[in-house]
Chain A
Amino acid sequence: MSSALRLRRVAAGLVLATLALPAAAAPASEADQAAARAAVDATVADVLAVLRTEGLSRDDRIDRIESIAYERFDFQTISKLVLARNWRKMSPAQREAFEQEFKRHLSVTYGKNLDRYDDQDVEVTSARGESNGDVTVRSRIMGEGDPIEVDYRLRDRNGGWYVIDVIIEGVSLLSNFRSQTQEVISQEGADALIRKLREKNEEREAETAAAS
């Protein structure tokens, strides 16, 4: 490649980068906020509809909620943000394995707790654009006691809005899992983390299978 051509490519790259950067870092617009909120509204409605359907088997219920959640959560981004600086040090195979086991972990842990649903209602209250273009959608779970505040942070990916964090009463699950994975990786390494997750998942699944 001639040096002139290389220079042109670099220049073109720089122009593209300056064009792309402000767009990526722009705060979410009103339209973005409305779109993210609509996504949460629809997902909440779908989940509540499944929870309120009478006569579903436990497994059916879990399967349906799982497929709704899988469509709305961006597990790839979540895994990446959970692993943070460790992501770069991990092989593609390790990343893939972590993502799979993490997804399964959330599914078995929270799936097991679906039985606790007791006719609570969910009210989506507001949306806020974040400085990096994400949108935080606030909601409130209304049950018998005090309402529980749940915020969803969503990110735009190819024109769709996907959940990248759930913040319950001010506690970000992303932050919580990041702290835990960092601890495990720094003490025992990434393979140990994946193994730990897998063992935990298998244990839970065995329990659930035994219970049903």
Chain B
Amino acid sequence: MSRTRLAALSLALLLPLAVGCVKYPNHWDRETQGNDPFENQNRAVFEFNEDLDTYVLDPVASGWEFITFEGLRESVQKFFINLAFPRRFFANLGQAEGRAAMDELGRFLLNTTVGIGGLFDPATHVGIPLHNEDFGQMFGAWGIGTGPFWVLPFFGPSNPRDAVGLVFDLAFDLRTIASATPIGTLAWTGAIQNVNRRALVDEDIDLARDAALDLYVFSRDAYGQRRDAAIANRDFGADLPEEDGDSLYDFPDE
């Protein structure tokens, strides 16, 4: 597994504030918010990931941005999304979302052929939507708890449940399935994928860094909320559970 891939993935995960950004795979559940017994270690790993971004990923991605045009970067992104089709297919099936799994199958067939190996996304244009499920979400839908918040080196914000999900996600990627040397293949293709993705989310990362008072807590909370919403596939921002006796929206007047 390439370091850049992991670092870029971690960064993409902490950016829910994106305006105009494509939806990227994301990982979590609200339980984790008040569940961070390893905060000191997590913060150290978080800093490491940040440094990796600042000194390696961001400079390389800027170079990539300079020599490519946006349409190409978007096609590269779509190409890798298409390769992750088995993950979405099985994670949907695992949640008894048969219709969504069939959509994914249809998308894969259409985008791989008409969409020239997944570089384009004609499926969306003909009205077959993406159902971006992963195994962490599937475990969450099964009622499996997240466990404590956990910042992975290279991968970023996670938790034990989603980390296990991530292993399944990578196992159910066509790069793994079709390759005799999956680790090596994931490494070099992952490098390209994540440099490309970093270039696409550059402005979003700047916004997150500007907006955050404490980037670590910002990421922890955002990751939690995002995963929670992704698992519930909810239509609305539902009332949040009570925390420390104060619910989010009710404040007793003095």
- Give A residues with C-beta under 8 Å from B: 80-81, 84-85, 87-88, 109-110, 112-113, 116, 118, 120, 128, 130-132, 134, 136, 138, 141, 143-146, 148, 151, 153, 164-165, 167-172, 174-181, 183-184, 193, 196-197, 200, 204
Inter-chain contact A180/B212, CB cutoff 8 Å: yes
Decide if A113 touches B240 in the complex (CB within 8 Å).
Answer: no
Of the candidates B21, B211, B246, which one forms a contact with A84 in the assembled complex, judged by CB atoms under 8 Å apart? B246
Contact A132–B16 (Cβ < 8 Å):
no
The reply to whether A169 and B221 form a contact with Cβ atoms under 8 Å apart is no
Which residue of chain B has its CB nearest to the CB of A128?
B236
B17 touches A168 (CB 8 A): yes
Chain A residues near B236 (CB-CB < 8 A): 128, 136, 138, 151
Report how far A118 CA is from B239 CA in the complex, Å: 32
Q: With A and B bound together, what is the CA distance between A8 and B30 in angstroms?
A: 47
Can you show 30 pairs from A to B with CB atoms below 8 A apart?
A: A81-B249, A81-B251, A87-B251, A110-B211, A112-B210, A113-B19, A116-B203, A130-B249, A131-B239, A138-B235, A145-B21, A146-B22, A148-B18, A148-B19, A148-B20, A148-B21, A168-B16, A169-B226, A169-B229, A170-B237, A171-B226, A174-B248, A176-B221, A176-B222, A180-B212, A181-B213, A183-B217, A184-B214, A193-B213, A197-B213
Q: Which of B212-233 contact A (CB under 8 A)?
A: 212-214, 217-218, 220-222, 225-226, 228-230
Separation in Å of the A2 CB from the closest CB of chain B?
28
**Considering only CB atoms, which chain B residue lies closest to A193 in the complex?**
B213
List of B residues within 8 angstroms of A130 by Cβ:
239, 249
CB pair A196 B213 closer than 8 Å: yes
| Contact B237–A172 (Cβ < 8 Å) | yes
Contact string, B156-170, partner A, CB cutoff 8 A, digits 1/0? 000000000000000
Are A183 and B19 neighbours in the complex by a CB distance under 8 Å?
no
Instruction: Evaluate whether A170 and B214 lie within 8 angstroms (CB atoms) in the complex, with A145-B20, A179-B221 already known.
Output: no
| Cβ–Cβ contact A132 & B212, under 8 A | no
B84 to chain A, nearest CB (A): 16
Is there an interface contact between A151 and B237, defined as CB atoms closer than 8 Å?
Answer: yes
Contact yes or no, A170 B226, CB < 8 A: yes
Separation in Å of the B248 CB from the closest CB of chain A?
6
- CA A200 to CA B213, docked complex, whole Å: 8
Task: Write the nearest CB–CB distance from A58 to chain B, whole angstroms.
Answer: 16
- CB interface residues, B 21-79, toward A, < 8 Å: 21-23, 33
| Residues of A contacting B211 in the complex (Cβ-Cβ under 8 angstroms) | 109-110
CB contacts (< 8 Å) of A180 on chain B: these are 212-214, 217-218, 221
> Bound state CA distance, A170 and B249, in angstroms?
15
| Inter-chain contacts of B213 with A (CB < 8 A) | 177, 180-181, 184, 193, 196-197, 200
Which B residues are in CB contact (< 8 Å) with A138? 235-236
Report yes or no: B212 in contact with A143, Cβ–Cβ below 8 A.
no
Are A170 and B240 in contact, with the CB atoms below 8 A? no
Cβ-defined partner of B218 (8 Å) among A116, A128, A176: A176
Tell me, in angstroms, the Cα distance from A165 to B226 when the chains sit together.
Answer: 16
Inter-chain CA distance A134–B16, complex, in Å, is 24
Min C-beta distance of A78 to chain B, whole Å: 11
Closest-by-CB residue of A relative to B211 is A109
In the complex with contacts A113-B207, A196-B213, A169-B16 CB distance below 8 A: yes
